[in-house]
A and B are shown apart, each in its own frame.
Chain A
């Protein structure tokens, strides 16, 4: 019984994309260990088609624990449940997303089942010979990559950065078991009550799950100029990020802040305009797939870490870029 498990995440009955990314990771590990891959869904109202999609994307088994009392994440009940499942089934590897949920739940569970946990992994592999999980993560603001093992405790637990890998393509011919597990009353801890969600906050943004982030810094000069970045982000269906300086000036709300005291993101494409590239900002973007920098200063640090840099006035460059993308759209598919 050396199962690999991934924890699927849902919000209001919809599975999040990261649940499928985790399956891609888990599949590779399970294959290397010649074992089965299971996905655990904790929530409410996730329909059969979505559960089946987990099988299509790599799971051999899906454990679905659905109950109205699990609709919103509360650490206490989710932790009781996950600890109970781990003790019952004894998986050898457990992966979750490095999201607000995963980064809260996993350390809580790791303490209770007495095992190690590695946060924010960007690479996972099985060590040949020992079959142990090698967990690699950036540390010290992305200045080093540390590889960590949990030699003597099980499960080996890790949280994985969203967008740090791509899901497997769906294979509708894959077959697997979907097992509904009831929620036992004794696992419910109702000390913490979720009374709702607030999204009205002026300009809320889901940066962590965006594939493309277009970010602006002090060089944007004014709040209104961020419309330019929004137009570009919209072209990709992406999101707008900002440096601390831009947020502290009130140009955008804190949910947009990227970096040491804001969010850490790994989008497929990050475009930074008017951003110097201070070490505290870089800490939040270093694991992005592709980095583009637009800055009039040829010596800006962001140029140095960028895959593509343009030395020039950001307003000229962004307007031209917007115009060209619009043109492409009007021309239609080529």
Chain B
């Protein structure tokens, strides 16, 4: 089945899963607007996509520049003459020591993972809700399923995203639009290169493939790979008084 997406935005397209998603969409014939801060990386990707016969557009942008999002979103949709798929894959996970409490890192995490997502996906949800069509993909994480010791604010930012995406879905799914919450386990990307424990690690390409299939099928919540769904169901079921003694 070819993907039903012709005009797409990928925020966080300069590396990792966003990049893999953009490449695959272009291979399937879609036009993709690449959004992230590093213009040189985006330009490189655009060149590679073009060399393979695909079409990408470059829109450098820092998602923390919230006030610029409305105009940029409109510029992109005007450029592509519409929008079928909106992927929010931007995210940060600053490494922190077990005893570190850095407000700077935490604010950055909330700004990129939460507020940036809200700025972009509000735009998409409003449009898709009125259009009665379109697909939103938000990349959350298994880390949002439980408050673990490792990355408190990162995990919290993904919980935020889960609830926010569910709300969007409840707002607009009845019109015909869809909202897909993606919850990957460890994926081999620059984000995780310094992370020690990476159980069930998969490549960004494999993740992208699963994510786009789920998007095409208008899935609501998808674990990547699927094994994480039963695993996280068990982990969520562990009572707090036990959980806090465990070493996750």
Q: Say whether A and B bind each other.
A: no
